[in-house]
Amino acid sequence: MCQLEDISNLHSSNEEEKGRQMSGPGPWTRYKLRLKRKRLLWRGFRSRHALKLTSDKTARIDPAQILLFATVRNEAMRLPYFLEHYRELGVSHFLIVDNDSTDDTAALLAAAPDVSLWHTNAGYKNARFGMDWLTWLLIRYGHGHWTVTVDADELLIYPDHETRKLPELTTWLDQHGQRAMGAMMLDLYAKGPADEQSYKRNQNPCEVLKWFDAYGYWAQRQSRMGNLWLQGGPRARCFFAEDPRRAPTLNKIPLVKWSRRYTFVNSTHNALPPQLNRTYDEPGQEKVTGVLLHTKFLPGVADRARAEQNRKQHFSNSKLYDAYYQSLIENPDLWDVNSTPYSGWEQLVELGLMARGQW
Amino acid sequence: MSVGIVILVHTALDRARQVVRHWSAAGCPVAIHVDKSVPRKTYDAFVAELADLPDITFTARYRCEWGTWGIVAATQTASERMLSDFPHVRHVYLASGSCLPLRPVDELIDYLEERPQTDFIESATTADVPWTMGGLDAERFTLRFPFPWKRRRYLFDRYVALQRALRVKRKVPGGLVPHMGSQWWCLTRQTLSAILQDPARDEYDRYFRRVWIPDESYFQTLARQYAINIESRSLTLSKFDYQGKPHIFYDDHLQLLRRSDCFVARKIWPYANRLYDAFLTDAEGAMKKTEPNPGKIDRIFAKAVERRTRGRAGLYMQSRHPREDWENGVTAAPYSMFQGFAELFENFEPWLAKSTGARVHGHLFAPDGAHFADGHTAMNGALSSSATLRDYNPHAFLTNLIWNTRGERQCFQFGPGDNQAINWRVAKDPNAQISVISGAWAVPLFRTNANFVDLRRLAAHLQKTESEHLDVLRSTWVKARVRIWTMAEFIEAPMEPLQGILDEIGPTTPRRLSEVPRMVDLKGFGQFLQNLKNQGMHPYLMGDFPVDTMGTTGAQDRPSKPYLVR
């Protein structure tokens, strides 16, 4: 399911107002955004009834800890490495909503000592692709913590992440008055169709998905909420060449010093209040940013797309994305002669896909 | 004779304890000040843990808030204690709990032993250094600052504004000349005691109590009164970023710190186990007995800071998305745009590629898609040639292309038949080199086999488009290097402009041009233009073409020969 919300930004992006790019939103827009934020918070608050706490380890959360929030569905294959990666980065507690998984996702998570698990069988789409549930958990547990909000197929990295863990980074961000760090979602893929690869649990997905698009991304600013709208990459190249406007959104804000007054709007692409979206630097310097290594294209992507299409829980009931899902089901090969083998964060900094800023 | 350490501790007491033990193990007496905001229980535990060490004293506690007097008061008290309790101490070294000794303490003792009269304190007059942040340099000595900047920012700012409005100006007492510098110093007993026992100390303290960030100026100013031999540098390595925040050293700085040859560094990340392990445990020390050399580390940092503060030009990403016209460089590297050359010369693109070594594309903004060099359908990193993708965001297409191919000069053809959306962007880009032969778009029309009515309509359209583009290129906002010739002008003497363009592109052609591109046969072109005129469409962009110019002169009679100019 985590594959789906990354196209959920599309409708709102159609509202883009080009003429007003130079000035910030006026008082009326700001007021409307405030109402929107309140409405989303209220939705999140209401959605708590849909969640059932099945494995409660929240008593172990300490005030200064870094917390991770995620909604998952049938991610037993990815989760072992996912948990390991974020533990290694310094995440102390995981708060995860299991949306009615049918594999052993729930058992796996319940067995982990640092995971609190909620179960729900409510509709994913009606919960704004899981965001309502996470909004509630963030209100309830995230206030005052540095929080990581990601999907199970997203691995956060940032400059020097091997030697400097999230506590270092968040202390630094605190010191420099930044409440959020942006990250670009980078699609990784193998050479050859995804289903012809083999991946074992607990394996680093980067060992299977060795390639990425080093170039071919384009960014524009959306004046309404001040967020960046970054698109491109292999999915734009392979599936949306005819209609680039609908290509998946790649900018995310995974790392936020949360306040119970905040809310994400479309997946984690943008948030309210709008200041949170200013993860990029305007006067031409660079701000520290990360990359979410997107491991969607592990084996099984086609089955998953088929299942999602049947469940009708994805964004594309409007038929706009049927072709996209159809292509995924056909087990495509994203590799191209211009693809670049992935070698680590230094490479991504050099390419400009992420930046160290002052960090 | 030995060195006494005054250590100011406020957080990470575990690490402070480790460092105190390290100093003490080398025989240095230590006077410890713990911030008053540390809870009583924690403080007691801290004291108990260090109870077994000899020559340790804990001094009266003050609240040390950044930028306020508390830090100076704490330093004074601890220093007095140090001088009175340990009469054999000759040098007093001021350190913080997050300082880490990089070299064996014995080396520091020897170093100071050899310089018994020297005070190591960074101290410079405010007028001469650009260190200060936030616009308060001389004013920090002439205004009063009773409010802490961190907690009472509003009051702080208002009170500064009020004093400015009232033109308040404090007098510096006793003819002192305000000096500033790093807070971390190493002073001799003589100098330090002279400062602390000065008969006018009350007056000085009263004055500095209301100065902003007195810990960076109190000792720095007063040391100038008494010191016999000031070395204006700090023995403690500390770096600041562009916001004036102290740079924190992490595990990955190990090699850098080793190379610095400095005695002490701050600030160290409390969880940097590798650093603490490396520098506190191996007593032998990996470093040679050399003079501290922060210069090495300075250069590395300065380079990094510059790169980070200015950002990489031409990068538009999540980290950096400057507003239009605010960019520090629109694109990443110089490139050339040619208008009309490919129309006028048959083999312009291969010729240019051969004589410059640059990557020469066709019409990148053509309606049917980007014509990449050598007919590729995608450039570095899958920049697609699809017209849809390109026209979705033409600015990004251009900036991406230049960014993706950093290190290789890009040249491309342009014309009035192409997507004109990038015209302003390119014109305002200092990296762009734009060469235009105006009116050359008429040459392909002249050579096609089409109905004249259609040609006339197309010519009118192209002329209008190009004319608008030329207006852009002639505006006052242009930052690109622009050259415009009319077609008539250009073919009079094509060599000079071509040579000029090549010279500017690069040093790959040191010699004069040996080979020139072949100009298309223009026989009858004058008549073609005249026909357009006769139809009521006046082609003016190509300049003055006599009806028979190219038609009858001998040299142009034989189109099979290349056009050569010597």
- Express each pLDDT in B145-178 by its tens digit: 888 888 888 998 899 899 999 998 888 888 888 8
* H helix runs in B235-360, sequence order: 254-260, 273-281, 294-310, 341-344, 348-356
What is residue B306's predicted lDDT score, i.e. its pLDDT?
Answer: 66
Distance from the B325 Cα atom to the nearest Cα atom in chain A, whole angstroms: 10
All residues at 6 or more sequence positions from A245 whose CB lies less than 8 Å from its CB, including other chains: A10, A13, A14, B392
Residue B550 has pLDDT above 80, yes or no: no
Residue B165 has what pLDDT? Answer: 92
Amino acid B309: pLDDT: 62
* Closest residue of chain B to A217, computed from CA coordinates: B400
pLDDT-wise least confident of A142-146, B269-273, B438-442, B504-508: B504-508
Q: Per the CB < 8 Å rule, is B381 touching A216?
A: yes
Chain A hits for B134, CB-CB cut-off 8 Å, are none
When pLDDT is averaged across residues A184-210 and rounded to a whole number, the result is 90
* Min Cα separation B97/chain A (Å): 18
pLDDT digits (tens, 9 = 90+) for B302-335: 766 666 666 777 777 777 777 666 666 788 888 9
Task: ipTM value, please give it.
Answer: 0.73
When computed from its CA atoms, the radius of gyration of chain A, rounded to whole angstroms, is: 19
Question: What is the reported pLDDT for A50?
Answer: 92
Q: What is the pLDDT of residues A326-350, one digit of tens each?
A: 888 888 888 888 888 999 998 998 8
Q: Where are the domains of chain B?
A: 335-516
Provide the shortest C-alpha distance from residue B95 to chain A (in Å).
Answer: 22
pLDDT category, B477, cuts 50, 70, 90?
Answer: confident
Contacts of B242 in chain A (CB under 8 A): 358
Preferred mutation among A164, A175, A347 to probe B, highest tally of B CBs within 10 A: A164
Average pLDDT of the residues of chain B: 84
Q: Kindly state the DSSP code that residue B38 receives in the 8-state scheme.
A: S
pLDDT at residue B551, rounded to an integer: 44
Residue B553 has pLDDT above 70, yes or no: no
E strand or H helix at B4: strand B2-9
User: Å from A321 to nearest chain B CA?
Assistant: 18
Q: Which of A161, A285, A289 is best to mutate for the B interface (most B CBs within 10 A)?
A: A285
pLDDT for B283 equals 53
Query: Is 90 exceeded by the pLDDT of residue B245?
Result: no
pLDDT higher than 50, residue B526 = yes
Question: Is 50 exceeded by the pLDDT of residue B565?
Answer: no
**Alpha-carbon span A297 to B248, nearest angstrom:** 38
| Beta strand ranges found along B80-208 (DSSP E) | 89-96, 100-101, 118-120, 124-125, 179-180, 186-188
Residue A8 has what pLDDT? 38
Q: How confident is the model at residue B20 (pLDDT cuts 50, 70, 90)?
A: very high
pLDDT in tens, A224-281: 888 888 888 888 888 887 788 888 899 999 999 999 999 999 888 989 898 888 887 7
Q: What is the pLDDT of residue A240?
A: 83
Candidate from A124-128, A266-270, B289-293 with smallest mean pLDDT: B289-293
Average per-residue pLDDT in chain A? 85
Angle between helices B189-196 and B70-85 (to 10 degrees): 120
Task: Mark out the alpha helices in B365-511 (DSSP H runs).
Answer: 387-392, 394-404, 423-427, 442-447, 452-473, 487-492, 495-505
Contact B379 A338 (CB under 8 A): yes
What pLDDT is stored for residue A3 in this prediction?
A: 37
- Closest to B94 in 3D by CA, of B30, B167, B171: B30
- Which helix (H) or strand (E) segment holds residue A133: the answer is helix A131-137
Separation of alpha carbons A286 and B71, rounded Å: 34
Cβ contact (<8 Å) for B386 and A241?
yes
Contact flag A219-B323 (C-beta cutoff 8 Å): no
Q: Give the residue carrying structure tokens 């088929």.
A: A306
Share of chain B above pLDDT 70, in %: 87
Do residue B248 and residue A213 have CB atoms under 8 angstroms apart?
A: no
Contact at CB, A286 and B311, closer than 8 angstroms = yes
In angstroms, the separation between the Cα of residue B149 and the nearest Cα of chain A is 14
The topology under which CATH files domain B335-516 is Rossmann fold (3.40.50)
Partner-chain residue, chosen from A176, A220, A289, that has the shortest CB–CB distance to B245? A176
Query: Across the interface, which of A228, A282, A337 has its CB nearest the CB of B323?
Result: A282
Three-class HEC string of A194-240? HHHCCCCCCCCHHHCCCEECCCCEEEEECCCCCCEEEEEHHHHHHHC
Mean pLDDT of B225-254: 83
Of B509 and A336, the one with more pLDDT? A336
pLDDT of residue A188: 93
Closest Cα in chain B to A352: B315
Task: Determine the Cα–Cα distance for residues B380 and A213; give it in Å rounded to an integer.
Answer: 9
**At residue B548, does pLDDT exceed 90?**
no
Q: Which two tokens stand for residue A327?
A: 């292509």
Pairing verdict, β A251-257 and A115-120? unpaired
Q: For residue A290, what are the CA distances in angstroms to A66, A138, A296, A307?
A: 17, 21, 18, 31
Q: Do B318 and A289 touch (CB under 8 A)?
A: yes
Tally of CB atoms within 10 A around B177? 11
Q: Which residues contact B81 (CB under 8 A, 6 or more apart)?
A: B31, B57, B59
Nearest Cα neighbor of B178 from B218, B235, B212, B236 is B218
Where is pLDDT greater, at B552 or A222? Answer: A222
pLDDT digits (tens, 9 = 90+) for B85-142: 999 999 999 999 889 998 888 889 989 999 988 999 988 887 776 665 556 677 888 8
CA atoms within 13 A on the CB side of A14: 6
**Residue B533 in this model has a pLDDT that exceeds 90:** no
Rounded to whole angstroms, how far apart are CA atoms B162 and B150?
Answer: 19
**Cis before A273? omega within 30:** yes
pLDDT (tens digit per residue) in A1-53: 333 333 333 333 333 333 334 456 788 989 999 999 999 999 999 999 999 99
Instruction: Choose, out of B319, B377, B395, B425, the residue to mutate when testing the contact with A (most A CBs < 10 Å).
Output: B319
Q: Which of A286, A334, A335, A336 to mutate to test the interface with B (most CBs of B within 10 A)?
A: A286
CB pairs under 8 A between A and B: 160
Whole-number Å distance between alpha carbons of B485 and B497: 9
- Percentage of chain A lying above the pLDDT 70 cut: 90
Q: Phi and psi at residue A21, in whole multiples of 5°? A: -65, -30
Confidence band, pLDDT 50/70/90 cuts, at residue B26: confident
Q: Is the peptide bond before B267 cis (omega within 30 degrees of 0)?
A: yes
Name the residue among A176, A215, A230 with its Cβ closest to that of B318. Answer: A230
Closest by Cα among A276, A265, A256 to A9: A265
Residue type at position A237: R
Q: Which of B513 and A39 is assigned the larger pLDDT?
A: A39
Rounded CA gap, A131 and A123, in Å?
12
**Does residue B560 carry a pLDDT above 50?**
no
User: Quick one: which H or E segment has residue A167?
Assistant: helix A166-175
Which residues, in sequence order, are CB contacts of A79 under 8 Å at separation 6+? Answer: A72, A105, A108, A109, A152
Inform me whether the pLDDT recorded for B198 exceeds 50. Answer: yes
Residue B170: strand, helix, or coil: coil
- Max distance between CA atoms of chain B, in angstroms, equals 109
Task: Place A148 in a pLDDT band, splitting at 50, 70 and 90.
Answer: very high
Q: How far apart are CA A163 and CA A186, in angstroms?
A: 22
CB A184 within 8 A of CB A292: yes
Q: Inspect the interface and report whether the beta carbons of A163 and B252 lie closer than 8 Å.
A: yes
**A256 to each of A43, A178, A227, A281, B68, how far by Cα in Å?**
20, 9, 15, 17, 31
pLDDT at B517: 84
- The confidence score (pLDDT) of residue B43 equals 93
Three-class secondary structure of residue B310 per DSSP: helix
- Determine whether the interchain pair A213/B381 forms a contact, defined as Cβ–Cβ distance below 8 Å: yes
Determine the average pLDDT of the residues in B231-236.
88
Please tell me the least confidently modeled range out of B215-229, B502-516, B541-555. B541-555
Return the H-helix or E-strand segment holding B103: none
Q: What is the pLDDT of residue A291?
A: 94
pLDDT of res. A133: 94
Q: Do B382 and A228 touch (CB under 8 A)?
A: no
The model's confidence at residue B465, banded by pLDDT at 50, 70 and 90, is: very high
Residues of A whose CB is below 8 A from B325 = none
| Token representation of residue B529 | 């233009």
Question: What pLDDT score does B369 carry?
Answer: 85
C-alpha span between A97 and A109 (Å, rounded): 10
- Separation CA B564–CA B494 (nearest Å): 9
Q: Cα B213 from chain centroid?
A: 27
